[in-house]
Structure 1
Amino acid sequence: MPNLILDRLFSLQGQVAVITGGSGVLGGAIARGLGLAGARVAVMGRNEARAEAVVKDIIANGGESLAVLADVSDRAQLEVARDAILQHWGQIDILINAAGGNIPAATITPDATFFDMPHAAFEQVVSLNLVGTLLPSQVFGEAMVDKNQPRGCIVNISSMSAIRVISRVVGYSAAKAGIDNFTRWLAVELAQKYGDGLRVNAIAPGFFIGEQNRDLLLNPDGSLSDRGQKIIDHTPAGRFGEPEELLSTVIWLCSAGSSFINGVVVPVDGGFSIYSGV
């Protein structure tokens, strides 16, 4: 017999979720998890083939999904995507801001200094991550408040670099720290103006192997690089995370089970953020 209380608290059945960066390693895993939880999932990205691959996985597992192409830094593209989703499903209930990343020029390599970094590179990575979270929140959040009873959930993606100093990634760190503050600010703003049915939270993933960091954390033979070893040494769990380990936290933050949770940043990090190294 199904547990009706748990179904009511944690099912996303009937809800429409939009995930930016949904064609990436972590974004794709989250998109698939939302589909398994019952949500109808709009997988957003800039690469149609990769977005469609995630959509096919969701549909193969019995879910509903569609691919939408948009750049998170382009408001006009986001508005076209929003209108297409509303035309297809008639509502938007969940936004996962998973698009983001780093660029080499905003990273201080061992043979460079902070003074060598071009400010344009810093601006570019801040725009990709912070503005690329703000614009979708405006565009898709507007669809959440445009209801008789405003309801919706936004989940942003923070980082360990927002709360701990991690060498090299100066632009990325500043952008993710901004996302932490933006998450708290927007949580208060929406709740005060539209009621407790609108919530904004974030997750702060620890270290997961993705497309951008693989060469930094692993050697060509799959062994740990020096930087990868340092991270493992400072992670009490003693390993990197698996993308699927983000799912339960994201689903909880999007579901009725977290209806009194607002403005928090939840680490999913194997203990990295709490360990002093001693």
Structure 2
Amino acid sequence: MENKFSLEGKVIVVTGGTGILGNSFVNGIVEAGGTVGILGRNKDVAEERANAINKNGGKAIALIADALDEDALVAAKDKLLAAYGKIDGLVNAAGGNMPEGVLMPDQDIFKMNLAGMKKVTELNLWGTVIPTQIFGEAIAKTSGRGSIVNISSMNSKSAVTRVLGYNMGKAAVDCYNQWFAVELANRYGDAIRMNALAPGFFLTEQNRNLLTKPDGGYTDRGEKVIRNTPFKRFGNPDELIGALVWLLSDASAFVTGSMICVDGGFSIFSGV
């Protein structure tokens, strides 16, 4: 019987591939049989991860680029096509928050760092749109069939305090996810799909200080997250792999424009 969940023979790019969640995405794709382009700004990490995969019998290539740098992304696309001849999928994992995009409780709400909020919004929205313009076009021209997976967030559907830029960026990604999925279908039928994966709360380098203390305990914010997560814990990055592989694979052939929550129940819990 054909394994529709397999990514065998598929070449997939992961932006933000040098991050914590990106690492799980990359490894999950390889474990499912796919060839992966590890795209990120950190050359050492990208090459280290690619070398480890190739040494263990997988197929990976390091692609050094900022998700907002069109010229660097085009060069990365050309490098990937020179190596493997086609692109079948894209995971838009570049994004996240940054210190200048955080409003602390004691700060004046009318004195927010607007430049910082804008920077975070642009990273999450345009760091999704621009790679899609470049790698999505390559999917259409070189493979003809493929899947694009965006990374949404719990922040996109409800107000999560302090991180306005991130909230706005991810809400815009959700809008883009639905709009572009429809436009793809209008032009390519069911050949090229777009969906979103919405992680709950996972500890990354960007949010660790907001959610945990140096001794490993929870901050007040971290305790609130746990209290409102029915599973009463943070997620493990590897717990995103199943949903990601499904969205990238032929097993989800009739799925487009969707947002799949992997959140321990956070998005559906009223808090009561």
The equivalences for 1:72-91 within 5 A come to 72-91=67-86
Query: Is 1:95 the equivalent of 2:57?
Result: no
- Matched residue, 1:110: 105
1:160 CA drift (Å): 0.3
Structure 1, residues 155-214: CA drift from partner, whole Å, max 9, x if none? 000000001211101000000000001001110011111221100000000000111111
Q: Is the 8 A contact 1:46 1:71 kept in 2?
A: yes
**Which residue of structure 1 lines up, in the alignment, with residue 10 of structure 2?**
15
Over the aligned positions, Cα root-mean-square deviation in angstroms equals: 1.1
- Matched position secondary structure for 2:120: helix
AA matched with 1:143: A
2:132 corresponds in structure 1 to 137
- Provide the residue aligned with 2:195 in structure 1: 201
1:242 alignment counterpart? 236
* Structure 2 match to 1:161: 155
- Flag the 1:40–1:167 CA change in 2: closer, same or farther, 3 A: same
Q: Match for residue 44 of structure 2?
A: 49
Distance 2:55 2:178 in 1: 37
Aligned residue identity for 1:12: L
In 2, Cα distance between the equivalents of 1:154 and 1:140?
9
User: Deviations for 1:232-261, whole angstroms, at most 9, x for unmatched residues?
Assistant: 000000100000000000000000100000
**Which residues of structure 2 form unaligned runs of 5+?**
none
Partners of 1:36 and 1:61 within 8 A in 2 = no
1:65 aligns with 2:65: no
Give distance in 1, aligned partners of 2:270 and 2:52: 40
Residue of structure 2 in register with 1:172 after alignment: 166
Secondary structure of 1:146's aligned partner: helix
- Determine if contact 1:36/1:58 at 8 Å carries over to the other structure: no
Does 1:229 pair with 2:229?
no
1:215 matched to which residue of 2? 209
Runs of 5+ consecutive residues of structure 1 not aligned to the other structure? none
The aligned counterpart of 1:269 is 263
TM-score by length of 1: 0.95
Q: Deviations over 1:89-111 (max 9, x none)?
A: 00000100000111222211011
Equivalent residues of 1:32, 1:57 under 8 A apart: no
Tell me, yes or no, if structure 1 residue 38 matches structure 2 residue 41. no
Q: What SS class does the counterpart of residue 49 from structure 2 fall into? A: helix
The equivalent of 1:187 in structure 2 is 181
Return the alpha-carbon distance in structure 2 between the equivalents of residues 209 and 53 of structure 1. 22
Local SS of the residue matching 2:197: strand
Contact 1:218–1:228 (CA under 8 A) maintained in structure 2:
yes
Q: Which amino acid aligns with 1:167?
A: T
| 1:152 aligns to 2:168 (yes or no) | no
How far did residue 60 of structure 1 move? Answer: 4.0
Q: Give the Cα–Cα distance (whole angstroms) in 1 for the partners of residues 270 and 186 of structure 2.
A: 37
Could you tell me how far 1:52 is from its partner in structure 2? 1.7
Percent of paired sites with the same residue: 49
* AA in 2 matched with 1:14: G
1:264: Cα distance to partner? 0.3
Q: What letter matches 1:68 in structure 2?
A: L
> Partners of 1:109 and 1:57 in 2: how far apart?
40
Q: How many residues align?
A: 272
TM-score, length-normalised on structure 2?
Answer: 0.97
AA of the residue aligned to 2:196: A
Tell me the SS of whatever aligns to 1:266: strand
The one-letter code of the counterpart of 2:61 is L
> What is the DSSP-based 3-state SS (H/G/I as helix, E as strand, rest coil) of the residue aligned with 1:19?
strand
